[in-house]
Structure 1
């Protein structure tokens, strides 16, 4: 029998508690949307009375959200209501009727003109009394996803040549690995000039866990070339020497670790990348944009879209093209 009095809050809480077909980190993200947004705005409404206008009002109250974030949030609510529709709890999926601004931002390159405009904006903010660090964060960018030119990437790698994470930055920027994938690489994944992506490290409320790749297509073999082999050979020797200096024997087997051999925190890797980009005085990109930069460089060097899509581990070539 359908519970006519069930509220949206009661339903989404029960729905997420029974959602055992998604990854742990995804589950945590869904739960955060439910606790921080859905329940405070919609939780009191009877599930059968939920309307698209009420959902739209919820998103209108969160104007700070990026369009892509709002789209992801709507997708979660739409999924929950799809299950409710199949179960006869509602007669319409109200979330499917809500229109939002465009989703994923198309990656754009840091052309000379865009970089010049960005630097002018930074300088203006500094003149108004803002710190350089804050001005760099506040100055508008053409897109949330930006791509470096080969010159930018070269300047960055030169600037971090002596940094402990240099080999990780190099692999990420040349092979297009996701942050969790590169942090999760093990020496057993290296075979001649190829690395195999078999896992990822994921940050969850319970700590850092080792998980399977994002999708079936994400498990893949990627060539690192002669330069990559040379780089990792030296890195492995340096890593062994450093572990011995700390009194650590065999180590964890991970390719990239802390000086004492502990697993890297993916969030900390992103923060350190951001610090190094600022220190090198380069136009800002996210760590994830190293992946887009790698894709752009592969396409510019003559690789076809299908090959680039396979290297990136996209499930569909249209995803590569759209980004």
Structure 2
């Protein structure tokens, strides 16, 4: 107690871990996206309050967290679930430490190693083209146009489902990403702005995507009593947003009809990126097209697809050295650039 007084830490022994976590969730609701908050809430209620909620907050110790982790591992609990649970507990307790409500974070060193992300399945250009052709020949509905837009632009699922006509400029072959749609428990949907500044940007439209949007516009204008375009581009017949789970179910149904590899909606974005990289588009351009916050994000996600580009780079270097060794002039008669040391 005296040490706490000297450092300005005031531990409230009346508060339990359960009460603290619930208060932390309530405070986070104002700053988190609805689906992110729902994920935190499910984790707290399902994984954290049952084993830790009865402890007084100052009495929670690293051994409690380590014992729970060991028990979960012995029960063959999924590594992703365990990582998310302990990470959530650590983040919540960091708030208590920052607000001088705890001396230290008992979960700081107990977080399991982050599981390696599973490699996503991507379609080849032939498979993607077969899927789009199948949709056009047998369905020709709003989802046909939606899948064409997603594969032809690399838009995220929520961005495509939240696209408004006021942000589509068909004459200029451009659209602006202003909103994204998030689903909670596959029932409630929310519109919100993209998380990063890079997410709000203009996207160029290919002739294929432009044609799909023209077709979608014709469908909506024919169904609208006034022949006007307003609201969302892709909607239910009553004008409400499409549910992501229903769109995913339709994707998998139509994929199964062709016996194509089973993929998710976000894998359409990965397919678009992999095709661009396979066609020799520079990683920096792919990154801008996908609207990643940094080029490093693109490299981390698709670096394994850039091996051909790496081959081209070292071959170009070898050819330049061979020309120099043979006494032939280089392509550009320029002095080599000077590289300054960071020191």
Aligned to 1:93: 105
Mark the CA change 1:225 to 1:17 in structure 2 (over 3 Å): closer, same or farther: same
| Cα drift, residue 47 of structure 1 | 2.2
Residue 146 (str. 1) matches residue 121 (str. 2): yes
* Unpaired segments ≥5 residues, structure 2: 1-9, 302-343
Residues 248 and 260 in structure 1, CA contact (< 8 A), matched pair in contact too: no
| Cα drift, residue 63 of structure 1 | 3.9
| Cα drift, residue 5 of structure 1 | 4.0
Residues 177 and 199 in structure 2, CA contact (< 8 A), matched pair in contact too: yes
| Cα drift, residue 173 of structure 1 | 1.6
Mark the CA change 1:251 to 1:260 in structure 2 (over 3 Å): closer, same or farther: farther
Structure with bigger gyration radius: 2
Deviations 1:46-96 (A, max 9, x none): 3223334433444552745353x5444443322211111112222322333
Question: In 1, distance between residues paired with 2:60 and 2:293?
Answer: 34
Deviations 1:103-135 (A, max 9, x none): 35153xxxxxxxxxxxxxxxxxxxxxxxxxxxx
Aligned to 1:271: 249
**Between 264-273 and 55-64, the greater mean CA deviation after superposition:** 55-64
Aligned to 2:206: 225
Aligned to 2:307: none
User: Which of these residues, 48, 62, 77, is aligned with residue 38 of structure 1?
Assistant: 48
Q: How many residue pairs end up in the alignment?
A: 282
Mark the CA change 1:58 to 1:211 in structure 2 (over 3 Å): closer, same or farther: farther
- What does residue range 64-143 of structure 1 map to in structure 2 within 5 Å? 64-65=77-78, 67=80, 69-105=81-117, 107=119
Residue 156 (str. 1) matches residue 131 (str. 2): yes
| Cα drift, residue 313 of structure 1 | 2.4
Aligned to 2:32: 22
Aligned to 2:282: 304
Residues 86 and 111 in structure 2, CA contact (< 8 A), matched pair in contact too: no
Residue 207 (str. 1) matches residue 188 (str. 2): yes
Root-mean-square deviation over aligned CA pairs:
2.3
| Cα drift, residue 292 of structure 1 | 1.0
Residues 251 and 261 in structure 1, CA contact (< 8 A), matched pair in contact too: no
| Cα drift, residue 182 of structure 1 | 0.4
Residues 154 and 269 in structure 2, CA contact (< 8 A), matched pair in contact too: yes
SS of 1:96's partner is coil
SS of 1:34's partner is helix
Aligned to 1:137: none
Residues 150 and 160 in structure 2, CA contact (< 8 A), matched pair in contact too: yes
Question: In 1, distance between residues paired with 2:293 and 2:33?
Answer: 17
Residue 194 (str. 1) matches residue 174 (str. 2): yes
Mark the CA change 1:275 to 1:218 in structure 2 (over 3 Å): closer, same or farther: same
Question: In 2, distance between residues paired with 1:57 and 1:146?
Answer: 36
SS of 1:278's partner is helix
Residues 11 and 102 in structure 2, CA contact (< 8 A), matched pair in contact too: no
Question: In 1, distance between residues paired with 2:35 and 2:61?
Answer: 29
Deviations 1:295-318 (A, max 9, x none): 111111122222222222222222
SS of 1:94's partner is coil
Aligned to 2:333: none
**Between 299-308 and 95-104, the greater mean CA deviation after superposition:** 95-104
Residue 6 (str. 1) matches residue 12 (str. 2): no
TM-score, structure 1 normalization: 0.79
